[in-house]
Chains A and B, each alone.
Chain A
Amino acid sequence: MPSRREFIQAGLAISVTPVALPIRESVGAVPSIAPHASQPLYCIMCDTRSSWSSAFAREAERLGVRVERTSGDITDFWFNDLSRRWKDGPVAIGGLTAHGPLFCLERLGWDHGLRVVLRGTHRVLDTGHVEHAISGPSPAITAARADLAGADWPSHVARLVTRCPVAGRTTAATVRSSQPDSRRADVHDTLLSWVIAPKAAHVP
């Protein structure tokens, strides 16, 4: 029997243009945020469907950040962990995931006074190169630009996310990998890197 998920997949697959439920965010500018030190992350989220995200998580773990793993469904993390934590007060989280987890967590974060302060899309081009388009705090983005062109970009994204300095100015950058990535076959979706941080840090 079809589940609702299969039903939607099927309905959309035969529609004019295939489509998914979550919005596919463009790398629009994120809001400017007030100058203060980097947010200690409550945890980062790893999308286990992607080897890139797993590499990202390994580096984050090495840096001492707790890792939450998902195969796309955030329910357990939300219901048993984050919703309780955010009730006590907003704390920052980060991740490198497919679109669904960010779509949900961003909207849930809005209700608890949090906003996305760093957002990147990591998209495989037809050539096999990976295009990184990131918007966020200027110093971090500027510093990370060069590193993203290499094959080990997930580790660099982990360092960018976990040490995301929160500064007053934001900027956007697009970087293309220098070599095609052999791991592209396991990519289920465009990946997004993100930091969701308390709104209190925003410039009024």
Chain B
Amino acid sequence: MAIPPGVSNRDWQTALQQFTQAVGAQWVFTSDEDIALYRDAYSPLWGEPEERLVSAAVAPDGAEQVSQVVRVANRFRIPIYPISTGKNLGYGGSAPNLSGSVVIDLKRMNRVIEVDDKRHFAIVEPGVAYFDLYRHIQERGLKVWIDCPDPGWGSPIGNALDHGVGYTFGAYRDHFHSHCGLEAVLPNGDVVRTGMGALPGAKTWAEYRYGFGPTVDGLFAQGNLGIVTKMGFHLLPAPEAYQTSVVTVPRRNDIVPLIDIVNELEHAGLIGMPEYSSPLGGFGPPPPELAELLKRPGGPSEEDFDRYAQQRNRGSWGCRLQFYGSPKVVAAHLEHAKDRFNAVVAGATFQDGELLRFPLTQEQLDRVHKVAVGIPNMSIFSIGARTALNPSPSDGHLWFSPIIPKTGEAVLEAQRVFMDAFAKLGMPSMVSPFSMPATWMHRAFIFIMAFPISRTNVAQNQRNRAAFGELVKVAAQHGWGEYRTAPAFQDEVMAAYSYNNNALLRLHETIKDAVDPNGIIAAGRSGIWPRHLRRARA
């Protein structure tokens, strides 16, 4: 059994006894077999000495037990790392930043405390999965939707606290933005409630997020000042109907008005999540003629691209628009969207989907993009099979997720910058002149890429880690920063947020030292290390 760093064997044994007193012997895990379950399944450091591993895990059943466990950890200066359902694959899983930390596994805290479908909110514990909340709503026939990520086995609280995102409507997709009020256990064991929750007997904890005074909720997201044990979320009133329409624009430069108009529609609340693509840049290797075009020195011109598209009677860019509401509202918003495109982009075309009324039939459910209508699922894991696109699948992936502006100019610039970066790295590019950003964020794009992870090819992992680090720097040089990353890269990403001699990190460290002087909670999370480890790393 490993011992947490900086902890004597005697203190460790005493702490384990006290953890056991707090939660019961069956909820303290120290065997190799049990703690192996907390390895990051997609670790970019898999099998290397630097892989982040845990020493033990403790699973409390409520805020009071969390408080007891934290007090024990604080007494013996034991580093702890809270997880909810531990499914943060691609961004670190359930592994800590600091090897030897004790995982505080909150899966047993799986109570849905309240769902209100008149005022449209929920209050949940961290072990509640999206599936659980969805089931709670369905079994009671409540008229609200959740917004869930893909896959849906994660936790609303865990996802929100890592700034996770979903698929439906506006701000609901930004899961931390849609939270309202939280309860957290601080490093000294104190339990604090934020927003209206600070008012004993408050009636609007999950509705009015500010309460009174400075707002501190953000310090708990991607942070390490406490363990969140409850959280409220605003929910979307269940719409009556849903329809999609794919708008296609003919010319390469039409990307600029395309995105401008979609922004206008989305920010006005008329559409849900837009999904961009290029009809020219389908997946897989480009056809020979396009491959030749792309090999030209300096790349193809706009005219080349337009000619290529015209010859194939294809558009240059497309966007699937999603409309929610009553059938009348959906029809009106769709008509308005078409008017806007037709007024600005010559040659825009539309392909309308079927108007779906809820509840859906089984046949409709089978073909709808489930997360777009608030239904959690696991289908994304069925892509592991070999295909022509994916002939020798390997072991996982690591997301590189820079945030770029929501403009056509920014997308074209990101394409150029990252294609150049891959060329300089001597690697095949993950980006093409047709790559489009992910749109989970409401007010920004994520120009996301997936680096492969291998459990057997250490050299490949090392190359990809080096490339990842280089892309972080390249992105920062262009004003783009990652919104989220695995522990192995959190120092590098935080270092890129360096305005005024890293003033933000210095502020985080000041707060960390004040609230968690022993540095027990999630040391190193988001690059924020406690004082005693900061010195060692300097």
Chain A residues engaging chain B, CB cutoff 8 angstroms: 1-24, 26, 31, 49, 71-75, 78-79, 83, 98-101, 103-104, 107-108, 110-111, 115, 187-189, 202
Contacts and interface: CB of A to CB of B under 8 A. Distances in A.
A18 B277 CA distance: 21
Given A15-B452, A49-B385, A8 B37 contact: no
8 contacts: A1-B275, A9-B389, A13-B284, A26-B456, A72-B379, A72-B385, A73-B382, A99-B384
B215 interface: no
Interface of B: 33, 37, 41-42, 85, 87, 89, 107, 131, 135, 150-151, 153, 246, 275, 277, 283-284, 318-320, 369, 376-387, 389-397, 427-430, 432, 438, 448-457, 460, 463-464
Contacts of A73: 377-379, 381-382
The 6 closest A-B pairs by CB, nearest first: A72-B382, A20-B393, A19-B452, A10-B283, A100-B381, A188-B385
B430 A11 contact: yes
Contacts of A100: 381-385
B452 A75 contact: no
Nearest to A13: B389
A24 B382 contact: no
Contact of B153 (A10, A19, A104): A104
Contacts of B460: 16-17
B306 to A, nearest CB: 21
A79 B275 contact: no
A18 B283 contact: no
Contacts of B451: 15-16
Contact of A188 (B386, B389, B397, B429): B386
Contacts of B89: 21
B284 A10 contact: yes
Given A1-B320, A23-B455, A111-B107, A12 B397 contact: yes
A98 B391 CA distance: 14
Nearest to A12: B450
A101 B275 CA distance: 28
Contacts of B438: 7
Which of the listed residues A6, A9, A16, A31 has the most CB atoms from chain B within 10 Å of its own CB? A16
A23 B454 contact: no
A75 B370 CA distance: 11
B397 A19 contact: yes
Given A19-B453, A20-B390, A23-B41, A9 B383 contact: yes
A24 B387 contact: no
Nearest to B378: A75
A17 B448 CA distance: 17
A83 to B, nearest CB: 7
Contacts of B455: 23-24, 26
Given A15-B449, A104-B381, A107-B153, 18 more contacts: A2-B275, A2-B283, A4-B380, A10-B283, A10-B389, A11-B449, A16-B464, A17-B394, A18-B390, A18-B391, A18-B452, A21-B397, A99-B384, A99-B393, A100-B385, A104-B378, A110-B37, A111-B85
Given A9-B283, A71-B382, A19 B389 contact: no
Nearest to A84: B135
A189 B283 contact: no
A1 B315 CA distance: 12
A17 B452 contact: yes
A73 B318 CA distance: 28
Contacts of A4: 150, 380
